[in-house]
Structure 1
Amino acid sequence: MEGRALTNRMWEIWSSAPDDQAQALLDRGMTARASYNFTEALDAFDRLTAYCPAYAEGYNQRAFVNFIRGDYGVALDDLDRAIALSPDHVAAAAGRALTLLGMGEIAEGQAALREVLARHPWLPERGHLIPEDQIPRQGQKL
């Protein structure tokens, strides 16, 4: 329960855009994505990243849409940008690991996921993508 509360708090921070215009674009994109309207979602996230190029969540959300669409290379580029802007963005780092796995880069994807789990052990991806005995415990060196 403590992990869930911390995760929810992180999402509150990440999904708080820099200003009202950026928030409207983020909300529009997330609503469109939830409705599987990927064209509208990508348009909103394209506008958001153009308007606020230093806001990591715009890149993370656009990457999520491209991941769902199977456009892993484009997703990976956006995830790398999100992580460069916000190195502690564990959701973007987890997305990067999942994208690598989707690309068939199993060893690299699992290594990236282990690194994320070492920082945030409550991620939902932990249970089915890495054997339990290979999941690092909080604070454990990889």
Structure 2
Amino acid sequence: MKQITYAAILLITSTTAHADECPVAPDHSADVSGVIAQIQQAENEQAARLLSNQLWEFWTDAPDESAQAVLDRGMTRRNAWDLLGAIEDFNKLVAYCPSYAEGYNQRAFAHYLRQDFQAALPDLDKAIELSPNHVAAISGRALTLLGLQRIDEAREALNQALELNPWLSERHLLAPGGPLAPPGEDI
């Protein structure tokens, strides 16, 4: 049993160093677009939230078992607030699977939680480049830009996310008096 565990760890460690060995991530773009269309037609926030949870099933479907193991471990570490450990895992994932959007999105989230907004922003940009309808990355970009006090860009990013999902909880940031309220409505 110890040999199998050691072999699995060796496989994950050795494959993370070779980006050319990562298979192409599953193409869930049609599924994501379908769920987004349903969200846009949702009658209330609760219905939209249930649909939004389905998006995570697609986004977190890693290209292979090795990538999935590293993603899952990184997310577990992040949830336990071991942010540096999570970033270490997401670094391995991005190195192994540079065309897998969720590796960048998860690393950005860990950086965001550390309030390292400068480090989070390029990862969010890359995640969105790889997955243009990644609502969570787009709204995360808005929050990161807000953290950087780049208000106009944050407002623009949040509006882009709300076009995809008008029920996002972050929408309150655009309300009168909110930090991203349109000029003239911020008082």
Compute the TM-score of the two structures, normalised by the length of structure 1.
Answer: 0.89
RMSD between aligned residues: 1.5
Matched, 1:42 2:87: yes
Identity %, equivalent residues:
53
Higher relative contact order (CA 8 A, sep 6+): 2
Q: Deviations over 1:35-85 (max 9, x none)?
A: 110121011100000111110000000000111111111100000000000
CA distance in 1, matches of 2:85, 2:163: 35
Work out the CA distance in 1 between the residues paired with 2:167 and 2:89. 30
What corresponds to 1:103 in structure 2?
Answer: 148
* AA in 1 matched with 2:72: D
Residues 1:73 and 2:118 aligned together? yes
Shift of 1:5: 2.2
List runs of 5+ in structure 2 lacking aligned partners: 1-45, 182-187
Higher Rg of the two aligned structures = 2
Deviation at 1:111, TM superposition (A): 1.7
Q: Tell me, in whole angstroms, the C-alpha distance in 2 between the residues paired with 1:124 and 1:73.
A: 23
Alpha-carbon distance in structure 2 between the residues aligned to 1:63 and 1:25: 16
1:63 aligns with 2:108: yes
Which consecutive unaligned segments of at least 5 residues does structure 1 have? 136-142
TM-score (norm 2): 0.68
Secondary structure of the residue aligned to 1:125 is: helix
- For residues 91 and 137 of structure 2, the distance between their equivalents in structure 1, rounded to whole angstroms, comes to 17
For residue 17 of structure 1, what is the aligned residue in structure 2?
62
In 1, the alpha carbon distance for the partners of 2:93 and 2:115 equals: 22
Of 164, 167, 174, the match for 1:119:
164
* Structure 1 ranges of 4+ moved more than 3 A: none
Deviates more, 1:110-119 or 1:90-99: 110-119
Between the aligned partners of 2:131 and 2:163, the Cα distance in structure 1 is: 17
Equivalent of 2:132 in 87, 90, 94: 87
Give the aligned length.
133
Distance of 2:87 and 2:149 partners within structure 1: 25
